Chain A
Amino acid sequence: MSEKVLMKGNEALAEAAIRAGCHHFFGYPITPQTELAAHMSKRMPKIGGTYLQAESEIAAINMVLGASAAGIRAMTSSSSPGISLKGEGISYMAGSDLPALIINVQRGGPGLGGIQPSQADYWQATKATGHGDFQLLVYAPSTVQEMVDLVSDAFDTADKYRMPAMILADGMLGQMMEPVVLPEEGAKKPVEKPWAASGHDGKRTHNIINSLYLTPDKLEELVKERFERYETVKKNEQRVEEYLVDDAELVIVAYGASSRVSRGAVNKAREKGLKVGLIRPISLWPFPVDALRKAAGHVKQMLVVEMSMGQMVDDVKLSIDCRVPVHFYGRTGGMIPAPAEILGEVEKLLK
């Protein structure tokens, strides 16, 4: 039976994964995702699963690669500097058509940066997680409940399209507590994976999980086939929340933690009679271009708010072919914008 509990975002991500049928977690300690791994280490031994603290982020993602190749649900979690290390393994998984879930509880960067919340890994998640032509499914929750819901959806969608998925959270969402309804444990049935390397038992020819193709026309053909799949993903899997957009003259575009603050700014703006709305991308890849194009048909301008120096703003401009002016407001380094700051920007733009 589903139950309502008060949980930290990081713990909720972990518990949701277990309930989505993921019984194998491979990680390496890093702030601010610590509670996620700790929760896994507490739960996995009790359900006969695997919690393994690897020697590095690199080893952890490659353990996920191996477990996924064996045909089961596996995941790892980290924060920004650790995700950089996982980039290699993620590229190999994309090149081998392996599904898995990677969680990034973002912190400030570059380098060791800081440990406060940030959204400065948008480019990394959506455009350059590793080398080569590939995409990840990228989901951006904005509440603890949405963290729970997206974990399950991310696993399902990753399995459906045979590609890795990432949940791009941040230190604020990871650390905050909210009430959540968890799905029932044990309800998720394992997905059949006839492509898996799990032993052929003399019943079929051998399965090979591989990303090496030394013949360029073969590699091109495979990459093109993968990109055709990505087109289907772009068509079917865009996810977005629209808030007071219909009559808006200005829409704020923000995801994750900054969308929570932006929503507060929208409410304050409405109290002042300003026609302001919010478009909140939930899937960052595929980017919700359809919703943005629709909005660009009637709003006069857009304001992108991010906890970075401006990364998603590029995709907003590309989505709408710069049909309306797109402005940017951001804080970075672990700073979280206050609703009043965003409202100030809105008022400046609407003057």
Chain B
Amino acid sequence: MAIVFQKPSSLTDAPLHYCPGCTHGIVHRLVAQALDELGVEGKTVGVASVGCSVMCYDYFSCDMVQAPHGRAQAVATGLKRARPDNVIFTYQGDGDLAAIGTAETVHAATRGESITVIFINNAIYGMTGGQMAPTSLPGQVTQTTPYGRDTNTAGYPVRVCEMLSTLDGVAFAQRVAVNNVKNVNAARKAIKKAFQNQIDGKGYSIVEVLSTCPTNWGLSPIEAVKWLEDNMVPYYPLGVYKDIEEGVKVK
């Protein structure tokens, strides 16, 4: 019988610890698939950030470094400057990338560091149990916004791709989602391109992936997908925000 589908070799055999319905698993697969297809696992170093995905150092079979909270892109900068021929990626959540690590994110981007950033936006702090994230939506109920996110006191969500696309150092910024097959396919292409850009020396590439957190959203996996479509996609429109190749500067 012919094998038509199998696990990418850039993933280890370790069982994933993620909750049912969480989309980290899909994104891990897409990253691993890109490394396989580009044949770069052996020269890739991934940076795991603090949050639910911190243990991805056990799941990716390339060399891995675990960074302090928010510092993944500074660590990636050090790795890349030390060994420019290596392929370096960070895998970060919204709290890590857009709250505690905002400075590291903005400055790695504006320096045009030749790295690939995989940004998981699920509008909540997952690992610590569902607190408000920088990307939590207005009115969203979380453990620390029990009456809904009040923009008068808690401010507004950060739209990362829109913000970073204004920086000259950014080569590629695209927002994708993994809520259906069509979008997973688009995400796969975007992630591969973000790695290809690095190999081609194009500069800083970021793919923002709208993801679900059924556990902390208090929804079933199917309800969570619908919540993402009804609430997140309108606030965080999918698409290419910057692509220096295609001449898309700022959407």
- B103–A66 touching, CB < 8 Å: no
C-alpha spacing A339/B103, complex, angstroms = 46
- B78–A67 touching, CB < 8 Å: yes
What is the size, in residues, of chain B's interface with A at 8 Å between Cβ atoms?
A: 38
Say which residue of A59, A64, A66, A72 sits within 8 Å of B107 (CB atoms).
Answer: A59
CB-defined interface of A21-35 with B at 8 Å, one 1/0 digit per residue? 000101000000000
C-alpha spacing A258/B87, complex, angstroms = 48
When C-beta atoms are compared, the residue in chain B nearest to A197 turns out to be: B63
C-alpha spacing A316/B219, complex, angstroms = 61
C-alpha spacing A66/B45, complex, angstroms = 10
Say which residue of A65, A88, A207 sits within 8 Å of B78 (CB atoms).
Answer: A65
Q: Is B204 an interface residue (CB 8 A)?
A: no
- B63–A208 touching, CB < 8 Å: yes
Closest Cβ of chain A: how far from B51's Cβ, in Å? 11
Stretch in B19-27, B52-60, B163-171, B225-233 touching the partner: B52-60
- A70–B74 touching, CB < 8 Å: no
Stretch in B65-73, B150-158, B190-198 touching the partner: B65-73
Say which residue of B12, B57, B86 sits within 8 Å of A70 (CB atoms).
Answer: B86
When C-beta atoms are compared, the residue in chain A nearest to B79 turns out to be: A66
When C-beta atoms are compared, the residue in chain A nearest to B60 turns out to be: A206
- B86–A199 touching, CB < 8 Å: yes
C-alpha spacing A140/B98, complex, angstroms = 39
Stretch in A50-58, A175-183, A215-223, A267-275 touching the partner: A50-58
- CB neighbours (8 Å) of A209 from chain B are 64-66
When C-beta atoms are compared, the residue in chain A nearest to B75 turns out to be: A66
- Check A211/B66 contact, CB under 8 A, given A198-B86, A201-B43: yes
CB-defined interface of A181-210 with B at 8 Å, one 1/0 digit per residue? 000000000000000111111110111111
- A62–B83 touching, CB < 8 Å: no
Q: Is A145 an interface residue (CB 8 A)?
A: no
Closest Cβ of chain A: how far from B98's Cβ, in Å? 15
- CB neighbours (8 Å) of A60 from chain B are 74
A200-256 residues with Cβ-Cβ distance < 8 A to B are 200-203, 205-212
- A206–B62 touching, CB < 8 Å: yes
C-alpha spacing A209/B57, complex, angstroms = 9
Please indicate which of the listed interface residues A50, A63, A64 has the most CB atoms of chain B within 10 Å of its own CB. A63
Say which residue of A55, A74, A88, A201 sits within 8 Å of B82 (CB atoms).
Answer: A74
Say which residue of A52, A205, A210 sits within 8 Å of B81 (CB atoms).
Answer: A52
- CB neighbours (8 Å) of B142 from chain A are none
Q: Is B104 an interface residue (CB 8 A)?
A: yes
CB-defined interface of A87-114 with B at 8 Å, one 1/0 digit per residue? 0110010001000000000000000000
- CB neighbours (8 Å) of B76 from chain A are 66
- Check A68/B78 contact, CB under 8 A, given A207-B63, A208-B58, A212-B66: yes
C-alpha spacing A212/B67, complex, angstroms = 10
- CB neighbours (8 Å) of A88 from chain B are 68
C-alpha spacing A26/B104, complex, angstroms = 14
Say which residue of B42, B54, B79, B103 sits within 8 Å of A197 (CB atoms).
Answer: B79
Q: Is A69 an interface residue (CB 8 A)?
A: yes
Say which residue of B54, B74, B82 sits within 8 Å of A212 (CB atoms).
Answer: B54
Say which residue of A55, A197, A198 sits within 8 Å of B104 (CB atoms).
Answer: A55
- Check A63/B60 contact, CB under 8 A, given A69-B65, A202-B42, A211-B66: no
C-alpha spacing A199/B103, complex, angstroms = 27
Say which residue of A24, A64, A197, A205 sits within 8 Å of B45 (CB atoms).
Answer: A197
C-alpha spacing A68/B12, complex, angstroms = 25
Known: A54-B74, A70-B78, A198-B86. 8 other contacts (CB 8 A): A55-B103, A66-B77, A69-B45, A74-B82, A199-B44, A199-B45, A203-B42, A206-B60
Which A residues lie at the B interface, using CB under 8 A?
Answer: 24, 26, 50, 52, 54-56, 58-60, 62-72, 74, 88-89, 92, 96, 196-203, 205-212
Query: Closest 7 CB pairs between A and B?
Result: A66-B78, A62-B74, A70-B82, A63-B78, A66-B75, A67-B78, A197-B63
